[in-house]
Structure 1
């Protein structure tokens, strides 16, 4: 991607970036947000789904791939928001990831669309699934236990997208579990606004290269600290 095109993409991404509301007890913050602009229906570059839309209604889709080093249950976490833009720059609709699936990101009355362009989304404490309404997280059977009794149970998550670029084993899974258990907490169900830092957004291609470097460095550090 050329410098000019990349700059335009990041400027567009910042203009429509979701407003994330984090639980007051959330122990983690996102590392980076990889951005893709899709101008035709096709596969997501970072999520197992096809993005399909009517070009008469939608001009493009901004995909936000929000990367966290930590989920309270495992190392590595990648969550998604999709903002569909009309031909006049209006937000037609929004979708947001939820534990490998996705929900609509706008309420029926669109009252969680800030300034007519930024979806306001609550973030599940420690797990980082998105919801247009916070009550959704109170309905999860393990929602209250995820940050305490279940902390670290997933060890190191290695998704198919990154298979071959970093790896885990029984020792690393145990080290990751112990490391994550140091962050155990109970959700408050009170929320604060997260402010995206100036360097938050990057083209997805750049983030895809950054994630394995970060994960390999993190796993090497865990091994070194255990020696």
Structure 2
């Protein structure tokens, strides 16, 4: 089913619109790479018969003939972010001949000409080639690859998913679309999972299947925020990701050798953080990870040391042995963290414990059935497992390596199994 037809009355072009036939006659044919994961879904058209500001872009429209047809072309995804709106402008004379074609390319408006200087037109329609993953327009695929091939391959590969949800556009600026930190991370993860190497063969086009839905721009403009909201809302259920990250404190975030305790007590008044620890906690929080502090000691210690640096509030849950009444590797500590975050049993295996103590952090996590990460930064405690269950699933030498490891784990998680659509 065409996604657009699922919203009757929103993206249904009116046959009474006098410009619909005109827009349909000159609608561009878009050819895209055989491995392209994102096809164009809809085009919102507008017709200009004199100079005026575009209704859907930043450009001023200046017809060189009788009129200009503007096509704002919608894609759900661009290889670096969710949301993509590209443009094609077709200049038509009074006799109905296409005399000039312009199209968007990375924020610029370019005149489309083939290497021989001719306009890329077949009959009444422009024929354009889309950059793989990025959808910028070219008149000739050979020229595209020669001039931008290496950059395009990099964007479709190593730099896929660089931005998550695109939140610098006409809709986000008006508060019509948005995304949480978690949703941004999940959008980026989805795109990183979709990395591909272009085939540089353009055997597919926008006419295939149900084709490009052609509607007046105001209707597409009204639909886009709803579409983006729907896509964003679907991310947590469709993109594999970690449910939670449990973090120890001593020699994981805080350098125990610098601790200063209140005389006669085990309460630490102040201590230095491990270099980079504060930045990592901030980064994980900004990326939407659900963080739980799972640490042994009196609560006041962690309130003092982490609270003084604004890190205490970065944790959604604080599970402290002084409150629970047992030390790690007690399963009560891990169960309490699960309960505090409201995690389900199914989410246990998608949770990670990070700590420096094989006998407490790693053994406890492994027994509990969650992933274990050993931080080997400190030599204060043994690095040699005594028991099989003290062997960590992952080891990192420094806390600043944790964000990269978490992303690698998330990208390795099995794909979410979705139920197939059943035709009525």
Normalised to the residue count of structure 1, the TM-score between the two structures is 0.90
Cα distance between partner residues in 2 of 1:193 and 1:27:
11
Residues 132-171 of structure 1 aligned to structure 2 (within 5 Å): 132-134=139-141, 135-140=143-148, 142-163=151-172, 164-171=175-182
Name the structure 2 match of 1:30: 40
Aligned pairs for 1:58-97 (under 5 A) are 58-97=65-104
Tell me by how many angstroms 1:22 deviates.
Answer: 0.4
Counterpart of 1:205 in 2: which secondary structure? helix
Deviation per residue, 1:4-63 (Å, 9 max, x gap): 542x32221121111111011101111211111111111111111111135xxx111100
Which structure is higher in strand share? 1
Post-superposition offset of 1:109: 4.3
Alignment check: 8 A CA contact 2:40 2:206 kept: no
Task: Report the equivalent of 1:126.
Answer: 133
Contact 1:74 1:177 in 2 (8 A): yes
Q: After alignment, is 156-165 or 146-155 more displaced?
A: 156-165
Between the aligned partners of 1:3 and 1:33, the Cα distance in structure 2 is 14
Matches within 5 A, 1:1-227: 3=14, 5-6=16-17, 8-54=18-64, 58-107=65-114, 109-110=117-118, 112-115=120-123, 117-134=124-141, 135-140=143-148, 142-163=151-172, 164-196=175-207, 197=210, 200-225=213-238
Distance 1:63 1:42 in 2: 12
Give secondary structure in 2 for the equivalent of 1:149: coil
Task: Please say if residues 106 and 119 of structure 1, whose CA atoms lie closer than 8 Å, have aligned partners that are also in contact.
Answer: no
Aligned partners of 2:146 and 2:38: how far apart in 1?
20
Whole-angstrom distance in 2 between the partners of 1:162 and 1:31: 18
Instruction: Provide the rounded CA distance (Å) in 1 between the counterparts of 2:185 and 2:221.
Output: 26
Q: Distance in 1 between matches of 2:63 and 2:119?
A: 23
For structure 2, which runs of at least 5 residues remain unmatched after alignment?
1-12, 244-424
CA contact (8 A) 1:106 1:113 kept: no
Distance 1:42 1:111, change over 3 A: closer
Give the superposed CA RMSD: 1.9
What is the CA distance between 1:81 and its match in structure 2?
Answer: 0.3
Structure with the bigger percentage of helix? 2
Q: Distance in 2 between matches of 1:188 and 1:130?
A: 17
- Provide the C-alpha distance between the structure 2 equivalents of 1:132 and 1:28, rounded to a whole number of angstroms: 20
C-alpha contact 1:172 1:219 (8 A) present in aligned 2: yes
Does the 8 Å contact 2:40/2:75 carry over to 1? Answer: yes
Are the structure 2 counterparts of residues 199 and 23 from structure 1 closer, same or farther at C-alpha, using a change threshold of 3 Å?
closer
The Cα shift of 1:195 comes to: 3.7
CA distance in 2, matches of 1:22, 1:160: 24
Q: Secondary structure at the match of 1:13?
A: helix
Q: Structure 1 residue runs of 4+, over 4 Å off?
A: 2-5, 224-227
Give the corresponding residue for 2:327: none
